């Protein structure tokens, strides 16, 4: 098949921070380049309780390697995380480093005739790493992040953070029925305090 210089216009923005060009790499299998990128984190890189703050530094150490069917991109991504502990709600800030590897298939090859829908493809010379970054980072995030592995959480009685409390922090066992009663008494006191603010006509009748 004669080589055609028909380059379809790439649908991806070549100036986007996470778009890489494979032009300098060339197509000779075995050629390799290393790249180091620091880019601002895109929005929504996270899960409910923890994620990468938008605009924070995402550091990528990349290895681009030309293989028969495309460009193999491997490397590590390092991101800061912010969130809150699922047990004690303490803010969490740490950083994680995740390794990944992704093959971008040349647009004019069909990877042995078995092109998959979920396969990533080069568009012209360009590779968009943003979806790769999302999959890599988001899949690595814990659904229940902890401030520390053995976080004891909050006291179920008073809500104090147990990690900050005395080691023997406890409450004398209270009969739940009594606790409910105590709640009623507190409500009652509240009512009386409000009553004091308005004139009480019962006293007028008695006196």
Say how many residues make up the chain: 207
Asked if residue 86 binds Zn ion (CB under 5 A), the reply is no
The values of phi and psi at residue 18, to 5°, are -105, 15
CB count, 10 Å around CB of 71? 23
For Zn ion, which is the closer residue by CB, 170 or 203?
170
> How many angstroms separate the CA atoms of 157 and 136, rounded?
40
Member of 87, 100, 126, 129 binding Zn ion (CB under 5 A)? 87
- Our finding on whether 85 is near Zn ion (CB under 5 A) is yes
**For Zn ion, which residue of 158, 173, 185, 198 counts as binding (CB under 5 A)?**
158
Site of tokens 């290393």? 34
Choose one: 45-53, 125-133, 156-164, 175-183; the region binding Zn ion (CB under 5 A).
156-164
# chain residues binding Zn ion, by CB under 5 A = 10
Distance of alpha carbon 197 from alpha carbon 207, whole angstroms:
19
- The two tokens of residue 39 are 């880019």
Q: Which of residues 168-187 bind Zn ion (CB under 5 A)?
A: none
Report the interface residues with Zn ion, using CB under 5 A. Answer: 85, 87-88, 90, 147, 151, 155, 157-158, 160
């Amino acid at each position: 098949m004669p080589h055609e210089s028909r380059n379809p216009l790439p649908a991806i923005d070549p100036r986007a921070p996470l778009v890489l060009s494979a032009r300098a790499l060339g197509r000779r299998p075995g050629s390799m380049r290393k790249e180091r990128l620091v880019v601002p984190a895109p929005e929504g890189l996270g899960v409910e309780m923890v994620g990468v703050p938008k605009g924070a530094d995402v550091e990528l150490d990349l290895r681009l390697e030309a293989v028969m069917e495309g460009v193999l991109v491997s490397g590590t991504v390092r991101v800061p995380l912010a969130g809150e502990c699922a047990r004690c709600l303490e803010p969490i800030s740490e950083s994680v480093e995740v390794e990944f590897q992704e093959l971008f298939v040349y647009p004019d090859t069909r990877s042995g005739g078995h092109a998959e829908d979920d396969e990533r493809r080069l568009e012209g010379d360009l590779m968009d790493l943003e979806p790769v970054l999302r999959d890599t980072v988001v899949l690595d995030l814990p659904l229940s992040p902890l401030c520390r592995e053995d976080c004891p959480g909050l006291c179920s009685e008073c809500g104090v953070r147990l990690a900050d409390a005395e080691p023997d922090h406890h409450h004398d066992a209270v009969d739940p029925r009594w606790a409910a009663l105590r709640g009623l008494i507190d409500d009652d006191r509240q009512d009386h305090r409000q009553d004091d603010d308005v004139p009480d006509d019962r006293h007028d009748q008695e006196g």
